Amino acid sequence: MAHQINGIALPNEEGFFGQYGGQFIPPELKQAMDDINVAYQEIRQTEEFQNELKDLFANYVGRPSPLFHAKRLSDQLGGAQIYLKREDLNHTGAHKINHCLGEALLAKYMGKTKVIAETGAGQHGVALATACALVGSPCEIHMGQVDIEKEHPNVVKMKILGAKLISVTRGTATLKDAVDSAFEEYLKDPKNYIYAIGSVVGPHPFPMMVRDFQSIIGDEIKVQTNERFGANPDYVVACVGGGSNAMGAFTAFLNDPEVKLVGVEPAGHGLNTDKHSATLTLGKPSQLHGMACYVLEDEQGEPLPVHSIASGLDYPGVGPQHSLLKDLGRVEYTTATDQECLDAFMTLSRVEGIVPALESSHAVAWAIREAGKLPKETKIVVNLSGRGDKDSDYVAEKLGL
Ligand SMILES: Cc1ncc(COP(=O)(O)O)c(C=O)c1O
């Protein structure tokens, strides 16, 4: 596993990835984060923790997730071969369960009395509510009212799983506001509560911890591609919101320069409008939610309202490790619009019988756009981060189906 690149630690002792990451938080929160870090470093090494997580990955999540050759799609596009890393087949339908199990187990080992989190599309909320039900921890999920209305099936699921759902109506009532609200709740009793962040974002140690739990994705891709074609893939592609599924898919390949890594951000209505969420593409280095990272912000330094058709991607910040990888040029960050995402959603559904999450459809859109330009022997692995059941009603209504 690559925990350094070009001699830069990922992260260093203070939680910095180059100039990004760190802990830009009040002193009482810093103590709580440092406690989590110490506990994490200790607990994750124990055989008991490792065995429990390994068993849950295999027998609860259903890992390893398959690597599927999307042959009909590849044939239609007439170029590179597209392979789908089927995180959509995980229990709860997305990659989020990988780090939620890690975080919930950590909460159990640390004796925490409440697990708190934010959610955008509801995937992290459902995955965390699931993991908390499994380990027997009370769970509280903060979600923007706009997302609550859009992601009804996930909202219902969280309630069935026993989570307390907090509707957030402030600001744009989407992901950033949900993060603010959840952090406030956490600050009421950081000794007994634990914040289970939904991506590779927030103060140290979360970007590192969530990445570590997610890196199983890339580890499996490496084994699967080497078994199947005796080599690494030429491309690994993933959508980027906060960046957890992408970091999970990329980590194993960071020091394999022949593997091109592509992160796809949401261009929404277009990069020349104010309705997008392309943080790495159009943002600048700043701070948000306790970390230094690229941020989309106004001239006063306030985070901008952002938009994506995919609720899980509309976040004005991004993980600190992605921020560094952009500056180093190790990952190419590009974008797909809402329209390209919708087209990809329908194409994959009709050509391969796989209904992708709107978030993942951004990565599929990149493959659809680029595959035809590449030679037939090129192998693209698209991380299909989640399934589209949660989005089906919304898409059907939008397209008048
Ligand atoms: C299916 C799916 N993919 C991707 C994302 C984006 O998150 P991240 O960039 O952390 O992988 C989400 C977020 O909710 C999601 O539900």
How far is 68 from 208, CA to CA, in rounded Å?
Answer: 29
| Listed residue (74, 150, 73) closest to 376, CA to CA | 74
Ligand 1: atom nearest CA of 201 is 10
Q: Are residues 331 and 347 in the same domain?
A: yes
Residues 88 and 192 in one domain: no
User: Based on the number of CB atoms within 10 Å of its own CB, is 200 exposed (0-12), middle (13-18) or buried (19 or more)?
Assistant: buried
Pull the structure tokens for residue 165.
């759902």
Range(s) of the domain holding residue 306: 62-93+213-399
The gap between the terminal CA atoms of the chain, to the nearest Å, is 45
Residue whose CA lies nearest to ligand 1 atom number 5: 312
- Quick check: CB of 118 below 6 Å from ligand 1? no
22-72, pLDDT tens digit by residue?
A: 999 988 889 999 999 999 999 999 999 999 999 999 999 999 999 999 999
| pLDDT tens digits, one per residue of 373-384 | 999 999 999 999
Does residue 207 line the site of ligand 1, with CB under 6 A? no
Quick: pLDDT tens for 335-352: 999 999 999 999 999 999
The CA-based angle 377-380-384, given to 5 degrees, is 150
Distance 234 CA to ligand 1 centre (A): 23
DSSP 356: B
| Other beta carbons less than 10 A from residue 351's beta carbon | 17
Same-domain check for residues 37 and 113: yes
Indicate if 117 and 245 belong to the same structural domain.
Answer: no
150 plus 227 within the same structural domain:
no
What's the pTM value of the predicted model, to 2 decimals? 0.96
Per residue of the chain (401 residues), what is the pLDDT tens digit? 458 999 999 999 999 999 999 999 988 889 999 999 999 999 999 999 999 999 999 999 999 999 999 999 999 999 999 999 999 999 999 999 999 999 999 999 999 999 999 998 898 999 999 999 999 999 999 999 999 998 888 999 999 999 999 999 999 999 889 999 998 999 899 999 999 999 999 999 999 999 999 999 999 999 999 999 999 999 999 999 999 999 999 999 999 999 999 999 999 999 999 999 999 999 999 999 999 999 999 999 999 999 999 989 999 999 999 999 999 999 999 999 999 999 999 999 999 999 999 999 999 999 999 999 999 999 999 999 999 998 999 999 999 99
**Are residue 230 and residue 141 in the same domain, yes or no?**
no
Residue finishing a domain among 189, 206, 223: 206
For the Cβ of 100 lying below 6 angstroms from any atom of ligand 1, the answer is no
Nearest of 200, 235, 223 to residue 11 by alpha carbon: 200
Short-list 238, 233, 279, 275, CA closest to 256 = 233
CATH classification at residue 270: 3.40.50.1100
Ligand 1 atom index nearest CA of 210: 10
The tokens of 159 are what?
A: 């309630």
- Domain-terminating residue out of 206, 229, 252: 206
- The SS3 of residue 4 is strand
